[in-house]
Amino acid sequence: MSLSDFFRQLSLLIGTPAVVLAAAATILIVVPRDWRVVLFGYALLTVMLSLLLSQVIPTEWALQQAVVGGLVAVMLYLSARQLGGPAAAGLSPSARWPRVASLTSFRALAVGLVVVAFLAVRETVEIPLLTPLFRDAVLWLVLIGLVGLALHAEPLHAGLSLLTFLGGAQLVIFTLIQRQMLVGILQGGQVLLGLAIAYLVVAHGLAAPSRAPVSEALPDFDGPTAEEGALMPGPGAAPESSAAAGGSA
């Protein structure tokens, strides 16, 4: 048995567990703040997508998803390492990168609502030529990807949520169209998108600490000093020019 045949048989045996693990990986992308956990979730998602894609396209083509996902994860790791390393040791926990726009509990609640919505509509959604297993995978990836884009303004989380959404789109496209050129174009576009996300991660992370709050940018003003108070006239005092004019008269 060749390696490609073994990979295909493995994907058929663990089809449902692969979808469950992919769903768990997307939760790791959206909910946690730690960039290490987020990148681990993305790496796990790419492996599960490769197993699922091997059921509809040749194994050699499906393995490109794992290779491309690994390249994107390495690029994002190198970018995140520059921002989350020793340079952030002196910052407070709230000021350290990544600075997310919502609380972890709120994101977990949002994912819980997505689970409820998924269970409510999964039986009513029909996608032509897709098995129920692939339909559930596509529906979950699309929903959780859109929720991740809505919850996060940080390029790392938002970019990986976009890649999650595109992963669901790839399951549909490669099921309907099995062409090697199309696989190469989409995987190459994924690499370029990962490169753009890595650049935005560094640019956004390095620019944010330099933005001082308004209270820090404005100088403190505690009132006039003793010398300034001695030079300022009192409430009933006349200006010096008026007093001098009156004395000369």
pLDDT at residue 214 in the model: 41
In this structure, is residue 225 part of a structural domain?
A: no
In this structure, is residue 181 part of a structural domain?
A: yes
Task: Look at residue 217 and tell me whether its pLDDT is greater than 60.
Answer: no
In this structure, is residue 236 part of a structural domain?
A: no
Q: Are 118 and 131 in contact (CB under 8 A)?
A: no
d(CA 74, CA 81): 10
pLDDT at residue 62 in the model: 86
Per-residue confidence at 223, pLDDT binned at 50, 70, 90? low
| Averaged pLDDT, 187-211 | 83
In this structure, is residue 33 part of a structural domain?
A: yes
In this structure, is residue 240 part of a structural domain?
A: no
| Averaged pLDDT, 201-208 | 77
Interior angle at CA 177, CA 171 and CA 183, nearest 5: 70
Per-residue confidence at 80, pLDDT binned at 50, 70, 90? confident
- Closest by CA position to 150, among listed 113, 186, 187, 124: 113
To the question of pTM greater than 0.85 for the whole model, the response is no
In this structure, is residue 78 part of a structural domain?
A: yes
Those residues whose C-beta lies under 8 Å from the C-beta of residue 44, and which sit 6 or more positions away, are 21, 22, 24, 25, 28
pLDDT at residue 237 in the model: 52
In this structure, is residue 182 part of a structural domain?
A: yes
pLDDT at residue 49 in the model: 92
In this structure, is residue 230 part of a structural domain?
A: no
Which residue stretches of 87-239 are H helix? 104-121, 132-151, 155-176, 180-207, 214-217, 226-231
* Cα 194 from chain centre: 11
d(CA 66, CA 44): 9
Q: Which residue has the higher pLDDT, 222 or 73?
A: 73
Could you tell me how many helices (H) and strands (E) the chain has, helices first? Answer: 11, 0
Lowest-confidence segment of 9-18, 39-48, 56-65 by average pLDDT? 9-18
pLDDT at residue 225 in the model: 53
Per-residue confidence at 61, pLDDT binned at 50, 70, 90? confident
| Averaged pLDDT, 78-103 | 64
Which residue carries 């390495």 as its tokens? 74
Those residues whose C-beta lies under 8 Å from the C-beta of residue 195, and which sit 6 or more positions away, are 75
Q: Are 80 and 156 in contact (CB under 8 A)?
A: yes
Q: Which domain holds residue 45?
A: 3-84+112-209
Lowest-confidence segment of 11-15, 65-69, 172-176, 234-238 by average pLDDT? 234-238
Position 35, amino acid: W
pLDDT at residue 90 in the model: 52
Q: Which residue has the higher pLDDT, 189 or 127?
A: 189
Q: Which residue has the higher pLDDT, 236 or 201?
A: 201
Per DSSP, the three-state class of 6 is helix
Task: Look at residue 235 and tell me whether its pLDDT is greater than 80.
Answer: no
Those residues whose C-beta lies under 8 Å from the C-beta of residue 24, and which sit 6 or more positions away, are 41, 44
* Count of structural domains within the chain: 1
Q: Are 149 and 165 in contact (CB under 8 A)?
A: yes
